[in-house]
Amino acid sequence: MTLAIDSVHYIDTTDSLLRRHPANPILTSKDWPYRINSVFNAGATLLADGSTLLLCRVEDRRGLSHLCAARSVNGVDGWNIDPSPTLMPDPIGYPEELWGIEDPRITYVPELEQYAVAYTSYSKGGPGVSLALTKDFRTFERYGVIMSPDDKDAALLSYRIGGLWALIHRPMTALGAHIWISYSPDLRHWGSHRVMMEARKGAWWDANKIGLSCPPIETPRGLLMLYHGVKQTASGCLYRVGLALFDTQKPDTCLLRGDSWIFGPEADYEHGGDVHDVVFPCGYTIHPDGDTLNIYYGAGDSCIALAQASLRSLLTWLDHNGAPGVLTS
Ligand code: BMA
């Protein structure tokens, strides 16, 4: 438990809130049925039969990414990986996908009885946000680019607010790399843009650049968000994960934001890889106990790893280590 009394009397005694699974890394390029460079940053969901689906970002040996589904009964091992790419970029129909598609976040939308996949489409204009709907992760209805570049790290909320769909995303603006939320009547036309949470400044672990990790976790106390913060150092960027809680019906109201990161690169497979010192969650599932979370993250932009956490413990930690508000020091 952390005793973060104030910035002067800060004492960190945080127990590990996210526990690495002993089977880590749970998926690597060696597991793939076809030749690839790396597999990382997977969206995750539970299917109707209780099994886990990961929609993995796969980078081929040209450097371009596509998405490939892997299914497992227990969400840890025994992965059944599609024998060929599940969703390839379509640069003819969708020029914004010229340099690949990356980092999917999956939201099951009860009203539509479909999964919404928000992913990064990458092309000459930079990264943008694209959306596709699917019932089965075999066929997809593409909505094309819904947030123009430079924008990424997006997920749809599973419910409407005041009749409107809501999308969390991370545009690069003159204000910086902050997390925003936007609204739409039809999933195609987006407006009413609001900042949800700003990157901190200066020496903070989440200074200058933050982005949504997994889709927010719906809890009775609000939307629990894992987000990544990027610290630029002399030896490169450090990607770590923090926690914040938002009002369910007014998601641009930040109820609590944690002070320290709760998860950062420590294991060899997180320090190494194609990009050093990256932990990058894009998906979670929740166990039948309603408390245990499986958090799937890309490690070192090279493999997929699993960490487990208690939802109750994350909220308790935020109670002790969080403060309200979007603006920080
Ligand atoms: C971010 C995204 C992620 C990647 C991370 C670390 O900007 O592009 O896909 O995992 O950088 O390289």
Rounded Cα distance between 138 and 47, Å, is: 13
Give the residue, out of 280, 296, 302, 304, with the most ligand 1 atoms within 8 A of its beta carbon, to mutate for a pocket test: 280
Q: Are 121 and 97 in contact (CB under 8 A)?
A: yes
Q: How confident is the model at residue 1 (pLDDT cuts 50, 70, 90)?
A: very low
Q: Is the CB of 82 under 6 A from ligand 1?
A: no
Bridge pairing between strands 176-177 and 52-59: unpaired
pLDDT number for residue 7:
55
**Residue 166: which of 103, 251, 225 has the closest Cα?**
251
Atom of ligand 1 nearest to the CA of 102: 9
pLDDT tens by residue, 163-187: 999 999 999 999 899 999 999 999 9
What average pLDDT is seen over the chain? 95
Q: Is the CB of 239 under 6 A from ligand 1?
A: yes
Q: Is the CB of 275 under 6 A from ligand 1?
A: yes
Atom of ligand 1 nearest to the CA of 153: 2
Instruction: Classify the C-alpha dihedral 132-137-141-142 as positive or negative.
Output: positive
Ligand 1 centroid vs 78 CA: distance in angstroms? 27
pLDDT (average), residues 177-200: 97
Q: Are 42 and 26 in contact (CB under 8 A)?
A: no
pLDDT tens by residue, 119-129: 999 999 999 99
pLDDT number for residue 228:
98
Ligand 1 centroid vs 234 CA: distance in angstroms? 18
Q: Is the CB of 280 under 6 A from ligand 1?
A: yes
pLDDT number for residue 8:
56
Give the residue, out of 239, 296, 304, with the most ligand 1 atoms within 8 A of its beta carbon, to mutate for a pocket test: 239
Rounded Cα distance between 260 and 65, Å, is: 32
Q: Are 123 and 116 in contact (CB under 8 A)?
A: no
Ligand 1 centroid vs 329 CA: distance in angstroms? 25
Looking at beta carbons, which pairs linking 242-247 to residues 24 or more positions away fall under 8 Å?
242/205, 242/206, 242/210, 243/314, 243/317, 243/318, 243/322, 244/197, 244/318, 244/322, 245/221, 245/315, 245/318, 245/322, 246/196, 246/216, 246/222, 247/222, 247/223
**Residue 223: which of 170, 159, 268 has the closest Cα?**
159
Domains in the chain, please, with CATH?
5-323 (2.115.10.20)
Ligand 1 centroid vs 275 CA: distance in angstroms? 9
pLDDT tens by residue, 226-261: 999 999 999 999 999 999 999 999 999 999 999 999
pLDDT number for residue 5:
46
Q: Percentage of residues in the chain with pLDDT exceeding 70?
A: 94
Atom of ligand 1 nearest to the CA of 298: 10
User: Tokens at residue 107, please?
Assistant: 């939201």
Q: What is the pTM of this model?
A: 0.95
Rounded Cα distance between 193 and 227, Å, is: 19
pLDDT tens by residue, 68-93: 999 999 999 999 999 999 999 999 99
Specify which residues 156 forms β-bridges with.
167
Q: Is the CB of 278 under 6 A from ligand 1?
A: yes
**Residue 32: which of 65, 89, 70, 63 has the closest Cα?**
70
Q: How confident is the model at residue 325 (pLDDT cuts 50, 70, 90)?
A: confident
Ligand 1 centroid vs 227 CA: distance in angstroms? 13
Rounded Cα distance between 32 and 239, Å, is: 26
66 phi/psi in degrees, rounded to 5: -135, 180
pLDDT at 130 exceeding the cut of 60: yes
Q: Are 289 and 275 in contact (CB under 8 A)?
A: no
Rounded Cα distance between 250 and 246, Å, is: 8
| Helices within the chain (DSSP H only) | 268-271, 311-321
Ligand 1 centroid vs 205 CA: distance in angstroms? 16
Q: Is the CB of 41 under 6 A from ligand 1?
A: yes
- Pick the range with the lowest mean pLDDT from 10-19, 194-203, 228-237: 10-19
Q: Are 284 and 243 in contact (CB under 8 A)?
A: no
